[in-house]
Amino acid sequence: MIFARRAWSVVWKDLLVERRSKETLNALAFFSLLLLFVFQFALGPDRERLAAALPGLLWLGFVLAGLLGLGRTFVLERENDCWEGLILAPGDKSAIYVGKLAANVTLMLVVEGLILLLFAVFFNVDLAPALTGLALVMILGTVGLAAVGTLFAAMTAQVRARELLFPVLLLPVQVPVLLGTVKATEAVLLGEPLGAVGHWLGLLAAADVIYIVTGLLTFDFLLES
């Protein structure tokens, strides 16, 4: 009970600060728009090529936005040495991990929703029929991405060349999530039933569980000194 209240206090604080400053959200929204330009320039106007590449592009966008957004998870805590305050707050540090993770997932899903909308509008693809399946894949994938991302953000927050190291560490670890989400998205967009990609969804769910449990168990060690 106390654990949940402490975790919630972190979610509340992070989202409130984000709502006030809009630092991450504004930048990521603009970044998403830029991505669209880049994708369009890279692929040209050919609709078929676009359709074939769509699942990959979509997740490329999500992951790039995630790398930027998740990497900033602990930037806020450097303000006035709040980082020290987090360490000194009595109680299990994993509550902070859960709070940060939940705030990150929320933020990421908002940005991903925006990217999805931009894709639908600018590339003129009808995503409506696939929306439920897509939402499921997005949630499973985003939780996995954020679970490791939050952990690694804490790891790199105090390290030299943090902006470089964070993606270098996160991307290889995210290979299973990337492959799973792209494959599942492909199937969903083709209108296949979710059962056809059941093994991928299972793998994503397993990855989520493994990552979150590892994060819970190891976060304490990152938030020391």
Partner 1 sequence: MTRVLGWLAALALLAGLGMAFAVAPREATQGTVQRIMYVHVPSVWVAYCAFVVVFVASIAYLATRAEAADRLAHASAEVGVLFTGLTIATGSIWGKPTWGTWWTWDARLTSVAVLFVMYVGYLLLRGMIDEGERAARYAAVLGVVAALNIPLVHFSVLWWRTLHQPPSLMKPGPSSMPPVIVRALLVNFAAFALLYLYFVAKRVRLLRLEGEAGA
Partner 2 sequence: MTADPLVRVTGLRKAFGAHRVLDGLALEVRAGEAVALLGANGAGKTTLLKILATLMRPTRGTVLVAGHDCAREPERVRPHVGLIGHGSHVYEDLTALENLKFWTALAGLRAAPAELAGALAAVELDRLAGERVRTFSAGMKRRLSLARFVLARPRVLLLDEPFAGLDQRAKKWLEEHLEAFKARGGAMVMATHSFGRELAVADRIAILSGGAIVLDTPRASLGPDAIARLYRLHTEEGA
Residues that bind partner 1 (CB under 8 A): 148, 151-152, 155-156, 158-161, 165, 168-169, 171-173, 175-176, 179-180, 183, 199-200, 203, 206-207, 210-211, 214, 218, 221-222, 224-225
Q: What is the DSSP letter of 122?
A: H
**Cα–Cα distance measured from residue 102 to residue 19, given in angstroms and rounded to the nearest whole number:** 15
> Does 100 help bind partner 2 (rule: CB under 8 A)?
no
End-to-end Cα separation, the chain, in angstroms: 27
Task: Tell me if 204 sits within 8 A of 177, measured CB to CB.
Answer: yes
**How many other C-beta atoms can be found within 10 angstroms of the C-beta atom of residue 182?**
21
Which of 25, 27, 29, 86 is close enough to bind partner 2 by CB under 8 A?
Answer: 86
> Does 162 help bind partner 2 (rule: CB under 8 A)?
no
The Cα-based distances of 25 to 11, 59, 122 in angstroms read: 16, 18, 20
> Does 88 help bind partner 2 (rule: CB under 8 A)?
yes
**How many other C-beta atoms can be found within 10 angstroms of the C-beta atom of residue 146?**
29
Q: Which of residues 26-85 bind partner 2 (CB under 8 A)?
A: 76, 79-82, 84-85
Contact set with partner 2 (CB under 8 A): 2, 5-6, 8-10, 12-13, 16-17, 20-21, 76, 79-82, 84-91, 95-96, 224-225
